[in-house]
Amino acid sequence: MKQAERYRAVVERFSKEMPVAETELHYGNPYQLLVAVILSAQCTDKRVNMITPALFEAYPTPEALAAASLEDIYGFIKSVSYPNNKSKSLSGMARKLVEDFGGQVPDDIDALMSLPGVGRKTANVILSVVFDRPAMAVDTHVFRVAERIGLTTASRNPLDTEKKLTGNIPEEVIAKAHHWLILHGRYVCKARKPECGKCFLADICRYREREDAKAARALAKAKALGKPE
Q: Which residues are catalytic?
A: 121, 139
If phi > 0 it is left, if psi is from -120 to 50 it is alpha, else beta; for residue 102 that is left
Cα 99–56–129 angle (5° rounding)? 75
If we measure between CA atoms, which residue out of 93, 185, 105, 181 comes closest to residue 136? 181
Residue type, 19: P
**DSSP string of 86-123, one letter each residue:** HHHHHHHHHHHHHHHHTTPPPSSHHHHHTSTT--HHHH
Residues 6+ apart with CB under 8 A from 151: 3, 6, 7, 10, 164, 165, 168
**DSSP string of 28-67, one letter each residue:** SSHHHHHHHHHHTTTS-HHHHHHHHHHHHHH--SHHHHHT
Largest CA distance in the chain: 75
Give the Cβ contact number of residue 58 at 10 Å. 14
